[in-house]
Amino acid sequence: MLRLPGAARRVRRVAMLSVHTSPLHQPGTGDAGGMNVYIVELARQLAAQGTEVEIFTRATTGALEPTVELVPGVLVRHIDAGPYEGLSKEELPAQLCAFTHGVMQVWAGHRPGYYDLVHSHYWLSGHVGWLAAQRWGVPLVHAMHTMAKVKNAALAEGDTPEPAARVIGETQIVRAADRLIANTAEEAGELMHHYEAPAERTAVVHPGVNLDRFRPSGARSAARARLGLPPDAFIPLFAGRIQPLKAPDVLLRAAALLVDEDPSLRGRMIVPVVGGPSGSGLAKPEGLQKLAARLGIADLVHFRPPVGQEQLADWYRAASVLVMPSYSESFGLVAAEAQACGTPVVAAAVGGLPVVVRDGTSGFLVEGHEPAGYALALRRFLDDPALTDRLGDAAAAHAQNFGWGAAAEATAEVYAAASQERRRRLRSPHG
């Protein structure tokens, strides 16, 4: 990770761009997910540490105020760009010009030098950020969150590849950005390998977890009582957006294998799926329910809509284990949140998940996406009921490494480095 030597001038005010998903949206709904949580928590902590943040996002309903104060020092600005509803993420590139115009209108109402830096999230925002940063004469810091080339290299069966336009767009942003922020060293390596990102402009900053909200809280049975779940059931949980990329079907198939091996599980296992259809999963919103019926476990699988973070923490605490069989994860915020609540994780050994989950200590990593591999890992918890608490205690301790305060401090260092380098270039006679 890039470290800034000595005391550097702190960036005063950041224009943060999140075109396709609002920090005010409920995570787990539509395109709202870990990135929403990331932006909200990072902005809160940056503000607490002395950097004001203004988040520009697309207005998705006329009922929203043009500006909303999230917390002191964090302002959300709603930009009109296209119809409020009915636009998919794939249709948003056509609205980038309108969104950029709205951002520029806000900027025109301020004194020169009002924003010190632009921080864009996801490739759509990166294109707006590229233009804004050039026009304002400030650095551009960009976070990919996911990358088309990486996703296309690990597609789930039946999933839709990312379009060539996104690959081209991401390549342009990598060239334009003053700094790129990657969630893990592996993601930094992918940026360098797939997009020829310069190592000296690529920084690693681990995302964080709100450790005040996501924490162990009493006995697991207490959380189960609050959610109306039986106290002694085996409960492998899926939480997140329902789409092929996240592979909730792998958990269902693994659960069916466990029931086939041990029919008595039918009376003592519940598989909650907490989240809503998203992305390519919107094409078949009932697909997972139909799969549960075909597998003969419809009575065991409990579908629940996305919930607020307080209740989500209770779902984590109530679970015997969180299961995260994703095909691609830049970090794996859900896994970090679950561990912070004292719940072990069974996850795919992809992306940032090997950083978030300590294999054999806070959970188990599974190579590949064969349901039998996940069934084998879940069987370990069934054979040793005390394993949930043993690994859960270690998981809660491990999660303490992922506080948002540290993430914000590291991000502020990246901002300062980008600003310092820009000032140095401006002073240089060679530009």
Say if residues 255 and 300 touch (Cβ distance below 8 Å): yes
187 is in an annotated binding site: no
Amino acid at position 61, single letter = T
33 is in an annotated binding site: yes
38 is in an annotated binding site: no
31 is in an annotated binding site: yes
DSSP codes of every residue in 47-90: HHTT-EEEEEEE---TTS-SEEEEETTEEEEEE--S-SSS--GG
183 is in an annotated binding site: no
89 is in an annotated binding site: yes
Q: CB neighbours of 264 closer than 8 A, spacing ≥ 6?
A: none
Cβ atoms within 10 Å, residue 299: 10
How many residues does the structure list for the chain?
431
32 is in an annotated binding site: yes
317 is in an annotated binding site: yes
307 is in an annotated binding site: yes
Question: Could you tell me the two tokens for 402?
Answer: 């992922």
377-401 burial: b if 16+ Cβ within 10 Å, else e: bbeebbeeeebbeebbebbbebbee
Burial class (CB in 10 A: 0-12, 13-18, 19+), 363: buried
114 is in an annotated binding site: no
- Closest to 273 in 3D by CA, of 297, 252, 244: 252
Say if residues 237 and 321 touch (Cβ distance below 8 Å): yes
- Is residue 99 within a helix (H) or strand (E), and if so which, with residue range? helix 96-108
Distance CA 237, CA 346 (A): 10
DSSP codes of every residue in 214-262: SS--S-HHHHHHHHT--TT-B-EEEES-BSGGG-HHHHHHHHHHHHHH-
35 is in an annotated binding site: yes
Token pair 């636009």 is found at 87
Phi, psi of 79 (to 5 degrees): -105, 130
Token pair 């005040």 is found at 212
11 is in an annotated binding site: no
284 is in an annotated binding site: no
189 is in an annotated binding site: no
Crossing angle of helices 122-136 and 164-176, in 10° steps, is 40
220 is in an annotated binding site: no
34 is in an annotated binding site: yes
SS3 331: coil
Question: Could you tell me the two tokens for 294?
Answer: 């075909």
Phi, psi of 140 (to 5 degrees): -110, 120
Residues that constitute the known binding site for 1D-myo-inositol 3-phosphate = 20, 31-36, 89, 122, 146, 166
Residues that constitute the known binding site = 20, 26-27, 31-36, 89, 122, 146, 166, 241, 246, 307, 316-317, 319, 329, 337, 343
Residues that constitute the known binding site for UDP-N-acetyl-alpha-D-glucosamine = 26-27, 34, 241, 246, 307, 329, 337
